[in-house]
Every structure is written in structure tokens, then in C-alpha cells.
């Protein structure tokens, strides 16, 4: 008798094959059969009218700290994700020498907008080496499986000390040898890859650039040599891709003999650069080497409200006067003080973030009960202001004051240069891309894209009106088998015998995202944006039910993944 049989569901197995009505049988932590009229199960689920798909594999998260204190790894676990990979973009918390964690917290706070007070209280730093960090992760059970990568910033600081925080400083030959050895050690211990950041967007909280920004060829090739010796791992990069940059990264990946995975987004200042970079990736693939681009499935949008990190009035002197008030006190004062509201709306200071926001009202949008991730310009704050005879500042303030001060705006700042998702359609349908820009656990005060697996299915598979949709079979494969294969996790992402029993049973017609909301549930009472979903009837990790009717069950079958995994 099987432990679990999911009967009569519409199975989309993650391979890209056409959907079919079938049963899925599970014994222990593995799928044992997918087919018709399978034998009885100790537990049976009637999935008639429901869609059965693999658990989602999210390869680009930043749960490096959260995974050490939060066994439920939310919000990702609310969205059908059963595997998360972190340590991306060259930031993380190992290796670290005793007493030197403040710099890594400073770096993570600046690059990924995770409050330093949260990290200081939440992360124990009861490790030094990267293998020690993996052991600490392995000691805790979770709702989802987790995997970590070795971050360049932490490695550089560990080897070079304070000199390593300055990207202009070059390591000595002995220090490069140490980086080579530590990289090899981390990969043998189970790191899924090595990650680096070479973008000026990434700065520590104190304003310093990320330490790996301009690492020279000798340093990159030394690290690549460590990957080559280990014979495993992915080289993941976040770069501005200036002149010669791609070639340097490709040279490192070529020496390592390992896959190159590049974060790829469209930026307003250079809206065609993503295509040039993707063309270079195709060139690498034509040469017989492994490379891909990690892309998103929706705009990367700053979420703005009276309780978030950024909003149109965040730098206004009148707002700063209220910075010591609680959110409830600020809302009450705004509601009662007409002169304060007038100052915010009419007395605009020149320059700085305020000026930027004033220029961005044409692509700033209210977030409704069902968030729209391809909003039309007619719904922008600027357009609403023009129709109603108000200023954009007045409209923005009114929208954020709504819902008792919980109103939210979205400003798409990447992947939306032309005001539609046509570019994103090109990105996600390209054979050289994998999905990987959700950033779960990061940018907690401004972005909430960990829900991207849900919007991937709803937006592209059902709801899009401003362009073509995409087949559900393609979308599921892209977020399951495609992401799993990118990191060699061949035991998951597929509903097939001998594969890990990571399974979602969804009511596709009811699948929907709720509005993001601000909560204060991080260590030290830290604030973050979260977003829930409806339509997830069951989620299983290794055959254990972790989510039922959109609520966590409390079960924690998730484990640490050490290195690539063999297929079934």
C-alpha cells in the first residue's frame, strides 16, 4: 500500500509534456508511480478538478540569516516553494572570524535591505568556516529544503581582513591561494556554488561599495581554480556588465569548467543592455560551455506606503519630523493635521529622493486587492492626478492614507522600461534563461517578490490581457525542472518515479495573490513586507504535507541540500 495517493488530478509533471489526468503515488519521501488507477494509499486526496505540479525550486533568495531562525522560511513557503537557494550576489554570513560579524551585517543590510538590528539579534554566528555554517543549517529542520552558496564578500573579508572591504585593494598571492583553498573546501562541504557582485548598485549600509566590485583577474581566476579542483558548483554573478566585464567572468567560468549564471534585468538607463548580455550568453552556449541568465517573471517594483522604507515623502522635512512616532501615531497625526498634509504635498524640497519620486509619478501605481503586475499608464498616479485635477503628490498621499494608513503604491523600476511586460516575455521564453530574481528574504522594506512563483502561473498562464499568455506546462517546467537542473538538483522538480515527493496540489481557478502587507515579526520587532496567496490546497515536501488550504501545517521535513543531487 502506498503512503499517499493523489487521485484524478490534472498532472503537469514539470517536464514540459502535455497535462494529463493521472494519479500520483508516494512512498516515504519519493514518488513511486504516476499513472492511471494506482493502488490504494494510506492517505488519499481527491484532486479531481485540481492541478498537480512539482514543488517550486527558487534558486535566487537571500535567506542566509532568516534560515537560521525561521523554520518556516516565509513568505516562500506560502507560495508552493519547496527548495530555496541562498548566498546569492556575493553576500552572506560565512566564513566569518569571531567578532567580525558586524561588517557582514553592514554589507547585507546595505545590499539586501535587511535591518541590521534584525540580523544582530537573529543570527547567532556560531560558526567560522563555511562547512561550520552548513553544519549549523543542517542542525535545524524547516518547512522547505535549503541550500547555500559561498559569497565573495564574506570570503574576501575573511581572507584579507579590513583591506578586503575595499574593492580597490588587491589580494596577495598568499591570500589568493587561501581563497582557492576555502572555495574548494566549501564546495566539497556542500556549497552549491560561488557568488559574486560586480554592480555599483550594491553598497554596504555605511556607503562603501560591495568588496567584490572590481576584483581583478588574478583573484577571479584563483577562485575559479578552487571550483575547478572541487569539480562542482555554479558561478553566480550580479554585474553591471560594462565593457570587458562579461569576458572576464566567462574566463573565470571557463577555467573553473563550471556553469556561469548571470542575473539579468532590464534597467531604464540602458533598456537594451539585457539583450546584449543574453546574446553573449548564447555565444558561450554555442561554444559548448554552460551558461544561463537568471530572469524575473514580473517587474521588480518598489512597494511604497507609510510604513515602508521608501515612499514619495520619505526625505521630506515634514515627514522626518515624525520619524520617532509609531505608524499608528503618524497616521493619526496626518489625518488630524491639514497643515502637515499641505506641507507634504506642496512644499517640495529640491533634489534628492524627493525629486526622483516627483519624476516617477507617471509609472507609480496604486496596489489594489488583486495586485496588477502589468499596469497600464492610464492607472498611474500621474494619470489619476490629471483626471481628478489634483497634484500627483496629493494623489499619492491619499492613496497611502487609505485603508487606515495601509494603502500601498508600486513603482516598477526594473523590467518595465517600456511600460509593459513584452521584454519579460522575451526573457522568460528564451531557452538560455532560468527563473531567478525573486529575492526571497531580501529588500524586506521595499520589495516583496518571493511571491513570484504564484504570479508566474496566474499572470502568464491565465490573467494577462496586454499580450500573449504562455502554456501552463511551460511555466511549471520553467520554475521546477528548469531551476532544479540549473544547480544540478536532479532529484526534484519532476513528478516521476524515484524523484523527491515535492508536490503542489492547486486550485488553479482560485489561485491568486493577496495585497502585500507590512508586518513586524522579525527579530527585534523588525519590519518586513509579506504577501499571501490563495489556491494552494496542498503542498508536500518529501511526502510530508507542509501547507493545507493556504496555511502552514507546522510540519518541518525540509533539510539542508549539500551539493548537486543525482536524479531518479
Q: What is the DSSP letter of 203?
A: B
Mean pLDDT for 5-13 is: 98
Query: For the chain, what is the mean pLDDT?
Result: 95
What is d(CA 452, CA 456) in angstroms, rounded to the nearest whole number? 6
C-alpha span between 94 and 65 (Å, rounded): 11
How would DSSP label each residue in 484-514? HHHTTBTTSSS-STTSB--EEEE-GGG-EEP
Which element (helix H / strand E) includes 481?
Answer: helix 481-486
What whole-number distance in Å separates Cα of residue 410 and Cα of residue 448?
11
Q: Determine the Cα–Cα distance for residues 492 and 65; give it in Å rounded to an integer.
A: 25
pLDDT beyond 60 at 358 = no
Angstrom distance (rounded) from CA 465 to CA 459: 9
Tell me if 165 sits within 8 A of 208, measured CB to CB.
yes
Listing DSSP states for 291-335 in one string gives EEEEE-SS-EEEEE-TTSS--TTTT-HHHHTTTTS-HHHHHHHHH
Task: Please state the rounded mean pLDDT for residues 314-328.
Answer: 91
Distance CA 132, CA 195 (A): 18
210 contacts 153 by C-beta, under 8 angstroms? yes
Total-model pTM: 0.96
> How far is it, in rounded angstroms, from Cα 382 to Cα 414?
19
Cell of 253: 567560468
With H, G, I as helix, E, B as strand and everything else as coil, classify residue 528.
strand
Q: Where are the domains of the chain?
A: 57-299+421-486, 302-414
Supply the pLDDT for residue 347. Answer: 84
Mean of the pLDDT values across residues 518-523? Answer: 95
CA-based nearest residue to 274, from 148, 423, 400, 95: 423
**Other CB atoms within 10 A of residue 553 CB:** 14
pLDDT digits (tens, 9 = 90+) for 170-216: 999 999 999 999 999 999 999 999 999 999 999 999 999 999 999 99
Give the pairing of strands 551-552 and 517-522.
unpaired
- Helix (H, G, I), strand (E, B), or coil: what is residue 199? coil
Query: Crossing angle, helix 245-256 and helix 217-230, to 10 degrees?
Result: 30
Helix (H) or strand (E) holding 217, with range, is helix 217-230
Distance CA 55, CA 545 (A): 12
How far apart CA 481 and CA 496 sit, in angstroms, is: 11
So what's the architecture of 57-299+421-486 in CATH? Alpha-Beta Barrel (3.20)
Q: Give 19-31 pLDDT, tens digit per residue.
A: 999 999 999 999 9
pLDDT in tens, 462-489: 999 999 999 999 999 999 999 999 999 9
Work out the angle between the directed axes of helices 338-346 and 392-405 (0-180°, nearest 10).
140
Give yes or no for residue 522 having a pLDDT over 80. Answer: yes
Say what the pLDDT of residue 350 is.
57
User: What is the pLDDT, as a whole number, of residue 568?
Assistant: 72
Q: What is the pLDDT of residues 527-552, one digit of tens each?
A: 999 999 999 999 999 999 999 999 99
pLDDT-derived band at 111 (thresholds 50, 70, 90) equals confident
With a cut of 70, say whether residue 354 has pLDDT above it: no
Give dist(CA 321, CA 88) in Å, integer.
Answer: 37
* Chain centroid to CA 123: 20
Greatest Cα pair distance, the chain, in angstroms, is 73
Amino acid at each position: 500500500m502506498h503512503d499517499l495517493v493523489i487521485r484524478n488530478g490534472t498532472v503537469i509533471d514539470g517536464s514540459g509534456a502535455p497535462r494529463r489526468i493521472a494519479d500520483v503515488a508516494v512512498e516515504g519521501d519519493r514518488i513511486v508511480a504516476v499513472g492511471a488507477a494506482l493502488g490504494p494509499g494510506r492517505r488519499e486526496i481527491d484532486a479531481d478538478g485540481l492541478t498537480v505540479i512539482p514543488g517550486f525550486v527558487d534558486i535566487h533568495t537571500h535567506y542566509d540569516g532568516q534560515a537560521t531562525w525561521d523554520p518556516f522560511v516565509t513568505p516562500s513557503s506560502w507560495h508552493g516553494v519547496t527548495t530555496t537557494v541562498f548566498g546569492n550576489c556575493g553576500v552572506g554570513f560565512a566564513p566569518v572570524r569571531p567578532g567580525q560579524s558586524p561588517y557582514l551585517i553592514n554589507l547585507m543590510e546595505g545590499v539586501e535591505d535587511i535591518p541590521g538590528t534584525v540580523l544582530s539579534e537573529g543570527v547567532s554566528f556560531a560558526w567560522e568556516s563555511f562547512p561550520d555554517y552548513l553544519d549549523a543549517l543542517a542542525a535545524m529542520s524547516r518547512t522547505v529544503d535549503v541550500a547555500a552558496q559561498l559569497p565573495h564578500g564574506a570570503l574576501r573579508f575573511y581572507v584579507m581582513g579590513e583591506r578586503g572591504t575595499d574593492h580597490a585593494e588587491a589580494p596577495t598571492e598568499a591570500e589568493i591561494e587561501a581563497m582557492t583553498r576555502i572555495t574548494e573546501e566549501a564546495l566539497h562541504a556542500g556549497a552549491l556554488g560561488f557568488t559574486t557582485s560586480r554592480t555599483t548598485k550594491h553598497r554596504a549600509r555605511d556607503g562603501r561599495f560591495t568588496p567584490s566590485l572590481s576584483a581583478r583577474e588574478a583573484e577571479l581566476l584563483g577562485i575559479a581554480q578552487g571550483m575547478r579542483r572541487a569539480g562542482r558548483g555554479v558561478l553566480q554573478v550580479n554585474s553591471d556588465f560594462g565593457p570587458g566585464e562579461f569576458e572576464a567572468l566567462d574566463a573565470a567560468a571557463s577555467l573553473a569548467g563550471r556553469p556561469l549564471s548571470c542575473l539579468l534585468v532590464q534597467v531604464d538607463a540602458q533598456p537594451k543592455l539585457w539583450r546584449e548580455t543574453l546574446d553573449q550568453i548564447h555565444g558561450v552556449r554555442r561554444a559548448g560551455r554552460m551558461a544561463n541568465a537568471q530572469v524575473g517573471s514580473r517587474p521588480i517594483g518598489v512597494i511604497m506606503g507609510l510604513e515602508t522604507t521608501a515612499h514619495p515623502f520619505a526625505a521630506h522635512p515634514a515627514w522626518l519630523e515624525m520619524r520617532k512616532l509609531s505608524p499608528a501615531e503618524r497616521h493619526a497625526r496626518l489625518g488630524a493635521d491639514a497643515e502637515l498634509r499641505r506641507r507634504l504635498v506642496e512644499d517640495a524640497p529640491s533634489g534628492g529622493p524627493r525629486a526622483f519620486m516627483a519624476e516617477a509619478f507617471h509609472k507609480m501605481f496604486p496596489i489594489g486587492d488583486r495586485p496588477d503586475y502589468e499596469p497600464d499608464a492610464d492607472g498611474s498616479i500621474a494619470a489619476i492626478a490629471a483626471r481628478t485635477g489634483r497634484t500627483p503628490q496629493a494623489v499619492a498621499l491619499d492613496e497611502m492614507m487609505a485603508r487606515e494608513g495601509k494603502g500601498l503604491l508600486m513603482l516598477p523600476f526594473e523590467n518595465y522600461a517600456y511600460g509593459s511586460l513584452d521584454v519579460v516575455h522575451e526573457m522568460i521564453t528564451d531557452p538560455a534563461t532560468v527563473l531567478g530574481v525573486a529575492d526571497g528574504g531580501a529588500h524586506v522594506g521595499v520589495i516583496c517578490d518571493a511571491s513570484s512563483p504564484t504570479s508566474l502561473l496566474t499572470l502568464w498562464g491565465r490573467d494577462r490581457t496586454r499580450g500573449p499568455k504562455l502554456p501552463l506546462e511551460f511555466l511549471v517546467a520553467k520554475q521546477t525542472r528548469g531551476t532544479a537542473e540549473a544547480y544540478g538538483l536532479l532529484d526534484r522538480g519532476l513528478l516521476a518515479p524515484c524523484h523527491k515527493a515535492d508536490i503542489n496540489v492547486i486550485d488553479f481557478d482560485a489561485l491568486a495573490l493577496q495585497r502585500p502587507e507590512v508586518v513586524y515579526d522579525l527579530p527585534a520587532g523588525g519590519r518586513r513586507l509579506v504577501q499571501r496567496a490563495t489556491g494552494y490546497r496542498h503542498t508536500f515536501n518529501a511526502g510530508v504535507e507542509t501547507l493545507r488550504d493556504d496555511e502552514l501545517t507546522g510540519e518541518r521535513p525540509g533539510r539542508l541540500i549539500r551539493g548537486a543531487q543525482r536524479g531518479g
